[in-house]
């Protein structure tokens, strides 16, 4: 049904591997002419596993009913930004509150298929929350490496409560990933970061779901950290295109935080490789990554679709987070709002045709990061337990 192929040298590997001897990442290449697609893009019964015929697993999935997230028309955003049609896909409404669940349902299923007894990852938070949840469902052990003190509270809470062994390291995400890759190699743990080629397979269903509900938009905008998701969504559209199910590709548009923007810089200079950022920093901790492992795939996705990469400041991110929450009723964590902040910036600069149909993917739930909310909005006012005192505040 598929081959696991090195994206750099083309060498093929079995399912146990995630990187090639040459150091290149592996990618699942489906044998599209052999596959019998058994779903229709009719907008019905949308979940990750509706698209099972394009997912490379052989056993019954480990699932918590991920996917099928709402795709909202965002009319207030349209007015605010000056674009005709803007949709927001709320990935924060997945079981663990982020799109990572799409990758984990496939990744943990693959771990079981391969007979693994334990999984591991480095994480800026959401990967660990999701992996812990699916490992719990599957009944296997989970080990998590986090950059100590740099992970939003809700995410740590999830990883802990779902029973993962959580280890904070005195370093950043890039350090954590380097260490966990080595530990997995030594100890035979199954690595579930997005270097794992099966995780993006789950995440590509974001593309399938968008196409299922509204067809192919002109543009898909999303935050970019380790760059797995933009590569995965591109791959999803690409497969539908090659199967003849759709007849156009959306412009893949990646938004990075100013302080963690190696892909944006590569794009600016039209390079197909990145120069890592030494000390990435941003309020959007989910994309606080200086050396994105999927950079080559992501740049390919952007160049191949005539897309763009853009940066936004922390201030612009928080402003977009507030806009989504207060005007659209869509509560997201800071990183997610980068997509909307980026769209706004591109539109302001005239880099987007106002007639475009655009989908912003918002990646994680507001509840993930309550501490940032309190910093931004302040604590609620406390008064005496009397009608007078309450009215006084209401009217002030
Ligand atoms: C993981 C994550 C991202 C970044 O996705 P990449 O695939 O690493 O680019 C963005 N937002 C949220 C909420 C995430 O959890
Ligand atoms: Zn290779």
Give, as residue ranges, everything with CB less than 5 Å from ion ligand 2.
6, 8-9, 11, 20, 22, 24
What total of structural domains would you count in the chain? 2
Nearest ligand for residue 125 CA: 1
Provide the 3-class DSSP secondary structure of residue 73. strand
Do 92 and 16 fall into the same domain?
A: no
Other beta carbons within 10 Å of 197: 24
Do 20 and 93 fall into the same domain?
A: no
Q: Which atom of ligand 1 is nearest to the CA of 203?
A: 7
Do 76 and 29 fall into the same domain?
A: no
Do 27 and 78 fall into the same domain?
A: no
**Is residue 391 scored above 90 in pLDDT?**
yes
Cα–Cα dist 219/221, whole Å: 6
Please list the helix, strand and coil fractions of the chain in percent, rounded to the nearest 5, in that order.
40, 15, 40
Task: Tell me the CA–centroid distance for residue 285 and ligand 1, in Å.
Answer: 9
Per-residue pLDDT at 265:
98
Give the closest residue to 205 by CA, choosing from 19, 47, 31, 371: 47
Residue 163 falls inside a structural domain: no
Kindly report the protein residue whose alpha carbon is nearest to atom 5 of ligand 1: 225
Per-residue pLDDT at 330:
98
Q: Which of the listed residues 226, 280, 283, 296 should we mutate to test ligand 1's pocket, taking the one with most ligand atoms within 8 A of CB?
A: 226
**Is residue 12 scored above 90 in pLDDT?**
yes
Do 76 and 6 fall into the same domain?
A: no
103 CB within 6 A, ligand 1: no
Residue 10 structural domain: 1-35
Quick check: pTM over 0.95? yes
Do 3 and 89 fall into the same domain?
A: no
Per-residue pLDDT at 224:
98
Nearest ligand for residue 336 CA: 1
Give the closest residue to 238 by CA, choosing from 201, 272, 266: 201
Q: Are 287 and 223 in contact (CB under 8 A)?
A: yes
228 CB within 6 A, ligand 1: yes
5 CB within 6 A, ligand 1: no
Nearest ligand for residue 130 CA: 1
CATH number at residue 228: 3.40.50.1100
- Residues near 42 by Cβ (< 8 Å), separated by ≥ 6? 212
The structure tokens listed for 180 are: 């966990």
Per-residue pLDDT at 194:
85
Per-residue pLDDT at 178:
94
225 CB within 6 A, ligand 1: yes
Residue 383 falls inside a structural domain: no
Q: What is the pLDDT of residues 275-322, one digit of tens each?
A: 999 999 999 999 999 999 999 999 999 999 999 999 999 999 999 999
203 CB within 6 A, ligand 1: no
- Given the structure tokens 């795709």, which residue do they identify? 71
Residue 276 falls inside a structural domain: yes
284 CB within 6 A, ligand 1: no
Report in angstroms the alpha-carbon separations of 73 from 78, 86, 238, 361, 362: 9, 6, 24, 12, 13
Do 232 and 278 fall into the same domain?
A: yes
Q: What is the pLDDT of residues 337-362, one digit of tens each?
A: 999 999 999 999 999 999 999 999 99
Task: Tell me the CA–centroid distance for residue 230 and ligand 1, in Å.
Answer: 9
Per-residue DSSP letter, 354? T
Share of the chain above pLDDT 90, in %: 98
Cα-based torsion angle of the residue sequence 149, 199, 225, 370 in order, rounded to the nearest 10 degrees: -40
Nearest ligand for residue 6 CA: 2
Residue 22 falls inside a structural domain: yes
Kindly report the protein residue whose alpha carbon is nearest to atom 8 of ligand 1: 226
Do 13 and 78 fall into the same domain?
A: no
Do 93 and 11 fall into the same domain?
A: no
Kindly report the protein residue whose alpha carbon is nearest to atom 13 of ligand 1: 364
Average pLDDT for residues 176-203, to the nearest whole number?
Answer: 95
Residue 239 falls inside a structural domain: yes
Per-residue pLDDT at 18:
87
Residue 166 falls inside a structural domain: no
Q: Are 282 and 314 in contact (CB under 8 A)?
A: yes
Per-residue pLDDT at 273:
96
Residue 178 falls inside a structural domain: no
Residue 306 falls inside a structural domain: yes
């Amino acid at each position: 049904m598929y081959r696991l192929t090195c994206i750099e040298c083309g060498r093929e590997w079995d399912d146990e591997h995630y990187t090639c001897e040459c150091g290149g990442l592996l990618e699942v290449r489906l044998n599209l002419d052999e596959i019998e697609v058994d779903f229709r893009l009719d907008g019905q019964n949308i979940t990750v596993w509706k698209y099972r015929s394009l997912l490379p697993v052989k056993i019954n999935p480990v699932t918590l009913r991920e996917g099928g997230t709402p795709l909202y028309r965002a009319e207030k955003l349209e007015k605010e930004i000056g674009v005709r049609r803007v949709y927001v896909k709320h990935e924060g409404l997945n079981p663990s509150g982020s799109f990572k669940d799409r990758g984990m349902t496939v990744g943990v299923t693959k771990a079981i298929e391969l007979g693994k007894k334990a999984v591991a990852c480095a994480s800026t938070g959401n990967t660990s929350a999701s992996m812990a949840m699916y490992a719990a469902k599957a009944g296997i052990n989970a080990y998590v490496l986090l950059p100590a003190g740099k992970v939003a509270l809700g995410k740590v809470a999830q990883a802990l409560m779902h029973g993962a062994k959580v280890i904070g390291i005195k370093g950043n995400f890039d350090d954590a990933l380097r260490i966990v890759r080595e530990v997995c190699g030594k100890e035979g743990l199954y690595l579930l970061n997005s270097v794992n080629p099966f995780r993006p397979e789950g995440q590509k269903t974001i593309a399938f779901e968008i196409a299922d509900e509204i067809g192919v938009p002109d543009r898909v905008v999303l935050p970019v950290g380790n760059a797995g998701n933009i590569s995965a969504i591109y791959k999803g559209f690409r497969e539908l295109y090659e199967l003849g199910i759709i007849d156009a590709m959306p412009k893949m548009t990646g938004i990075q935080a100013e302080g963690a923007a190696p892909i944006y810089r590569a794009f600016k200079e039209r390079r197909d490789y990145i120069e890592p950022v030494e000390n990435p920093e941003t309020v959007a901790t989910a994309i606080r990554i200086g050396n994105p492992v999927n950079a080559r795939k992501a740049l390919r996705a952007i160049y191949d679709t005539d897309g763009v990469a853009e940066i936004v400041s922390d201030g612009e991110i928080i402003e977009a987070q507030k806009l989504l929450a207060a005007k659209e009723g869509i509560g997201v964590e800071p990183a997610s709002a980068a997509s909307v902040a980026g769209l706004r910036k591109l539109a302001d600069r005239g880099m987007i045709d106002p007639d475009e149909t655009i989908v912003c993917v918002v990646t994680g739930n507001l509840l993930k990061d309550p501490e940032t909310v309190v910093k931004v909005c302040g604590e609620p006012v406390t008064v005496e337990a009397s009608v007078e005192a309450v009215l006084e505040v209401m009217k002030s």
